[in-house]
Amino acid sequence: MAAQALSNLPDEIMCKIIELLAEESFYNLAAFLRAGKRGYALVHDPSVLKICDVTEMVTFVTCQISQGGQFRPFLLKCVDAENINAIYYKGINAASRIGLEESIQIMEPNVPIHGLSTLAVGIFNVCLGNAKEASKVFQQFAAYHHDLGSDATYEMETDLEW
């Protein structure tokens, strides 16, 4: 009976339910993906992809977002939907695979709104010897997030290093 009630809900309501679950973890979407064409389509709605928490994709023992990784296609769909965290993780992953310049280009849309992306872009600019650009990005970071010498920034650097 409950399954019939869910299947009769309009797409807008189902999509909102899926959005709420996606905000917690992309793992919560598995049942909808297996539920058939409608569930698959709703999970891939841009509003869901944009807010989906993709963090657990990169907290595996082995990162599953690299080329050929199990979650890469889904991550790229989230990137296309302008999911800020997905853009960050794609950029960080790209730094070791294709280079810092490319990584900066990937994360640039997140600067200065997303703190980790902004910090990473600043650090990568330092590594590339782009002192003026790094200074500009670090100033944006300080204006939008934390002072560079703060404990909060140190914690973010630890996350970035990981």
Give the 3-state secondary structure percentages of the chain, helix then strand then coil, rounded to 5: 70, 0, 30
User: Are the C-beta atoms of 121 and 139 separated by less than 8 Å?
Assistant: no
DSSP H helix total and E strand total for the chain = 11, 0
> Which residues neighbour 58 within 8 Å (Cβ) at sequence distance 6 or greater?
64, 65, 89, 93
Assigned token pair, 48: 């869901």
Task: Compute the distance between CA of residue 87 and CA of residue 73 in angstroms, rounded to an integer.
Answer: 13
Q: Identify the pLDDT of residue 144.
A: 92
Largest CA distance in the chain: 64
Assigned token pair, 4: 């019939």
For residue range 111-144, list pLDDT tens digits in order. 999 999 999 999 999 999 999 999 999 999 999 9
Mean pLDDT to the nearest integer, 39-66: 83
Assigned token pair, 65: 């977002």
* Count of positions (residues) in the chain: 162
Burial status of residue 37 (CB atoms within 10 A of its CB: 0-12, 13-18, 19 or more): exposed
pLDDT of 74 strictly over 50: yes
pLDDT of 67 strictly over 70: yes
pLDDT of 2 strictly over 60: no
CB neighbours of residue 89 within 10 Å: 25
| Prediction pTM value | 0.84
